[in-house]
Amino acid sequence: MDFDLDDIQRDILGLTEAVLQKAHGEGIAPAEAGDFDDALWASLAKSGLLSLAMPTDLGGDGLGIAELSVVLSAVGKSGARVPALSTLAMGVLPLCAFGTREQKAEILPDVAAGNAVLTAELPGALSVHATREDQWLLNGRTAAVLYAQQARRVLVPAQVGERSGVFLVDPHGTGVSLHRVPSSSGAPEYIMRFVNATAEVLGADVSTDAVEWLRGAGTLGAVAVGCGALAGALELTTHHIGTRAQFGKPLATFQAVAQQIADVYIAARTADLALKAATWRLASGLAADDDLTIAAYWLIAEGLPALRTCHHLHGGVGVDMSYPLHRHYSVLKDVARMLGGAEQQRERLGV
């Protein structure tokens, strides 16, 4: 197996970085400026980066999860606030894999144009139940859902008797209520409650496979964003200790500092390798649950301490809100919470 990026993926990475660097030059929108950076989201759409995984007959490129992982890692590394994880990994991928032609044609063109956001609840212990009368009705509540208020549709996994499936829900529809909850990064998250809320099943029929695909794509997307955030923090810290001097010498020349940044490098590289292994298996149609769990575990268990080391090596600069390091740390904390924490990943592995 070869985990190196192919030519198409390298081109996608270069394009994504160029769009994000231009946004950095113009100033990434601060948290208080809005729910996300609309101008950057529009730039990503104009560059074709939101339509990479969409079908070619709808104007997309027909690519897949490996290419989107490249985009999500770059977004995480930049510290930009855009709904890339929720829309691309948790919305576009499951919709492309299981949606009917009508569902895709109704939603995907607006997403590609940057005019619609998608999101989903990452499947865990399902607390929403679906019943069929004249139409599908949902009852129950979700965990925190990214960008639910801003989304055109929310993909909600629900129990249907002995089976489970994924349903498309209008977050502003009848029977749906939203309650905003805090997040570390300030990105909008909402608990959704359903009381006989109307819904549409994703695809032609209820499919447990759709739930598993949503879980896999959402987990991989979250890990990709988290790995990007960790890589961005490493880059910031490496630059800081290489240019900041004490006693007439750069901080990086002190042995204790060099040892600590080496530990951060090892954590970041290992997390990235675990991400690439999981991506390769998922993109190849192979069983990837254990690989995804290992990647999530390593990112949470080693990534968060590594970021604390980055803060330490920055000194007081690291906790200054005008300095971007806090973006990377808060994003990774949100990712860790979304994935359920390190102990939950160990339990999934049975160790």
Nearest to 30 by CA among 187, 258, 240: 187
Task: Give pLDDT, residue 34.
Answer: 63
pTM: 0.95
Nearest to 325 by CA among 242, 240, 266: 240
pLDDT of 210 > 90? The answer is yes
Task: Give pLDDT, residue 124.
Answer: 86
Phi, psi of 238 (to 5 degrees): -60, -45
Confidence of residue 85 (pLDDT cuts 50, 70, 90): very high
pLDDT tens-digit readout, 4-19: 889 999 999 999 999 9
Task: Give pLDDT, residue 1.
Answer: 65
pLDDT tens-digit readout, 148-196: 999 999 999 999 999 999 999 999 999 999 999 999 999 999 999 999 9
Confidence of residue 245 (pLDDT cuts 50, 70, 90): confident
Q: Show the tokens assigned to 13.
A: 């990475």
Nearest to 331 by CA among 172, 194, 146: 146
More confident site: 59 or 35 = 59
Q: What percent of the chain has pLDDT over 90?
A: 86
Q: What is the mean pLDDT of the chain?
A: 94
Task: Give pLDDT, residue 22.
Answer: 86
**Quick check: 28 and 81 in contact, CB under 8 A?**
yes
Neighbours of 19 (CB within 10 A): 20
Task: Give pLDDT, residue 4.
Answer: 83
Confidence of residue 322 (pLDDT cuts 50, 70, 90): confident
Query: Between vectors from CA 334 to CA 296 and to CA 64, what angle results, nearest 5°?
Result: 55
Q: How far apart are CA 242 and CA 253, in angstroms?
A: 8
Question: In this predicted structure, which of 13-27, 137-151, 256-270, 303-317 has the lowest mean pLDDT?
Answer: 13-27
3-state per-residue secondary structure call for 76-96: HHHCCCCCHHHHHHHHHHHHH
Q: What is the mean pLDDT of residues 14-39?
A: 78
H or E element, residue 252: none
SS3 content of the chain, % helix, strand, coil (to 5): 55, 15, 25
Which amino acid is present at 189? Answer: E
H or E element, residue 262: helix 255-283
Task: Give pLDDT, residue 139.
Answer: 98
Q: What is the mean pLDDT of residues 217-227?
A: 98
Task: Give pLDDT, residue 302.
Answer: 96
Domains detected in the chain: 7-117 (1.10.540.10), 119-207 (2.40.110.10), 209-349 (1.20.140.10)
Q: How far apart are CA 172 and CA 195, in angstroms?
A: 13
pLDDT of 33 > 90? The answer is no
Task: Give pLDDT, residue 279.
Answer: 96
Dihedral Cα 284, 289, 295, 297, nearest 10 deg: 180
Q: What is the mean pLDDT of residues 319-345?
A: 92
Task: Give pLDDT, residue 253.
Answer: 87
Query: Between vectors from CA 18 to CA 14 and to CA 19, what angle results, nearest 5°?
Result: 120
pLDDT of 316 > 90? The answer is no
Task: Give pLDDT, residue 215.
Answer: 96
Task: Give pLDDT, residue 349.
Answer: 86
